[in-house]
Amino acid sequence: MQVPFCPMVGSEVYSSEVKKTEVLMENFRRAIGLRIKENKEVYEGEVTELSPEEAESTTGGYAKSISHVIIGLKTVKGTKQLKLDPSIYDALIKEKVAVGDVIYIEANSGAVKRVGRCDSFATEYDLEAEEYVPIPKGEVHKKKEIVQDVTLHDLDAANAQPQGGQDILSLMGQMMKPRKTEITDKLRQEINKVVNRYIDEGIAELVPGVLFIDEVHMLDIECFSYLNRALESPLSPIVILATNRGICNVRGTDMTSPHGIPVDLLDRLVIIRTETYGPTEMIQILAIRAQVEEIDIDAESLAYLGEIGQQTSLRHAIQLLSPASVVAKTNGREKICKADLEEVSGLYLDAKSSARLLQEQQERYIT
């Protein structure tokens, strides 16, 4: 089962024209999944024939209209020829169905879904954009469990701007009487009612996902108040908050609090203790980073770079890899040696050293 994962950064709420709380709610609903299961009567198979039949237009003139369409479907067990309504022909065109494609047509709604190209048409090309699928087993006319994973935000968007399609999102949208042009609280409440009914009837299953908010200290008191209320909702994902702040002001207030998060929200959280990397772990991370960036470095240099990371920070140690590689190549070598790292560590300061230097030499800088 696919579990929704929605990452966001705290500062995102200020980078949009919509309300801050609307950005939060949208991401909340992106992180809540819904697995919809329906047993439907379908016609499924490989398309062997696709013939639209034309008739004289009822409005007069020289134009002709599609009166019906004849389609042939084939499975492992047999074949069937169907006479379809012109509206289903429009759906076939929309799905770009051609002879040789594997499709299924829902008997009750006429919805058409192209599954892929039949694998009997597969070629010997190394790369192809087409997806090949095996010819369906069983009879052409059968009962099939249709499973679709969507998020609550998908349902919100589909109903706020209905497209008039035949997919499950549009069908659910048809159950709502009012047609909305924007995602409002009232629309979301209506969707929640339909979702709850689907869950009660066993048609759908709720899949709580994960909402990851990085730099959560960037949220202000209004956003934190909204988070408090949203976390109490029965339709709520698992929320992970990440920050590197200590005791600091809660944005939008003069109140100080651990991590810049209000105490009443902190009380609802399980706080995970993190520890700094040890020398061995730091060397392993640096070795992986060097491998990813295709930088050649010997074991002695890697150990020395790990020492630099212990004294400064892992980020600073990682950032020294690229300039050290440039220095090594300038000296006619492909592999970084300890002398290269000593040279670049003398050229570039880490954040703490830079701050200490500024403090010691305040009189030399404009304040």
Contact 135, 115 (CB under 8 A): no
Task: Give the Cα separation of 146 and 109 in Å (integer).
Answer: 13
How far lies 1's CA from each of 113, 149, 297, in Å?
A: 21, 9, 42
| Structural domain includes residue 49 | yes
Structure tokens given for 292: 């990813």
| Structural domain includes residue 187 | no
Task: Give the Cα separation of 189 and 186 in Å (integer).
Answer: 5
Residue of 181, 80, 225, 184 whose CA lies nearest to 138: 80
Structure tokens given for 346: 């003398």
| Structural domain includes residue 85 | yes
Q: Final residue of a domain: which of 94, 118, 147?
A: 147
The radius of gyration computed from the CA coordinates of the chain, to the nearest angstrom, equals 30
Task: Give the Cα separation of 84 and 145 in Å (integer).
Answer: 22
How far lies 10's CA from each of 224, 255, 258, in Å?
A: 11, 19, 17
Contact 317, 286 (CB under 8 A): yes
What stretches in the chain show pLDDT beneath 70? Answer: 1, 16, 57-63, 124-128, 161-182
Helix axes 279-292, 321-330, angle to 10 degrees: 60
| Structural domain includes residue 185 | no
Q: Final residue of a domain: which of 97, 132, 147?
A: 147
Contact 196, 205 (CB under 8 A): no
| Structural domain includes residue 138 | yes
Task: Give the Cα separation of 42 and 166 in Å (integer).
Answer: 14
For residue 287, what is the domain's CATH number? 1.10.8.60
Structure tokens given for 176: 């709502």
pTM of model > 0.75 = no
pLDDT of residue 132: 85
| Structural domain includes residue 271 | no
For residue 137, what are the domain limits?
Answer: 38-56+65-147
Q: Final residue of a domain: which of 105, 126, 147?
A: 147
| Structural domain includes residue 51 | yes
- pLDDT digits 0-9 by tens, 239-254: 999 998 999 999 989 9
pLDDT of residue 122: 76
Q: What phi and psi, each to the nearest 5 degrees, are found at residue 81? A: -110, 130
For residue 47, what is the domain's CATH number? 2.40.50.360
pLDDT of residue 166: 46
Other C-beta atoms closer than 10 Å to the C-beta of 255 total 11
Which one-letter DSSP state was computed for residue 215? Answer: S
Q: What phi and psi, each to the nearest 5 degrees, are found at residue 56? A: -60, 140
pLDDT of residue 125: 65
Q: How far is the first Cα of the chain from the last one, in angstroms, to the nearest whole number? A: 57
Structure tokens given for 131: 């997806």
| Structural domain includes residue 268 | no
Q: How many domains does the chain have?
A: 2
